Amino acid sequence: MESTDIAEVAADTSDPHAGLRAISSLRALTDALELRQVEAGLRAGMTWQQIADALGVTRQAAHKKHARRVDQTIPIPRRHA
């Protein structure tokens, strides 16, 4: 099923069971895409602060969520900056 189809199911309140399953699927997709973009940002030289600003969260929140999940071969300082 396409992500646009999943979004339509998630928005449709006529079947809450299907809607909640669709939301769960969208959440998993969003998390995976966010990690890919964080890794792309780090590879492009973005700081944790720049990534956090783009995500609309604090630097600490971005680092806490992603620092241990990012590809460890990305040449970035392994500190909270």
At 7-40, the pLDDT tens digits run: 999 999 999 999 999 999 999 999 999 999 999 9
d(CA 45, CA 13): 42
What the block records as the tokens of 69 is: 């999940």
Rounded to whole angstroms, how far apart are CA atoms 76 and 81?
10
Predicted model pTM: 0.83
For residue 71, what are its two tokens? 């590809």
**Per residue in 35-62, pLDDT tens?**
999 999 999 999 999 999 999 999 999 9
Determine contact, residues 59/66, Cβ cutoff 8 Å. no
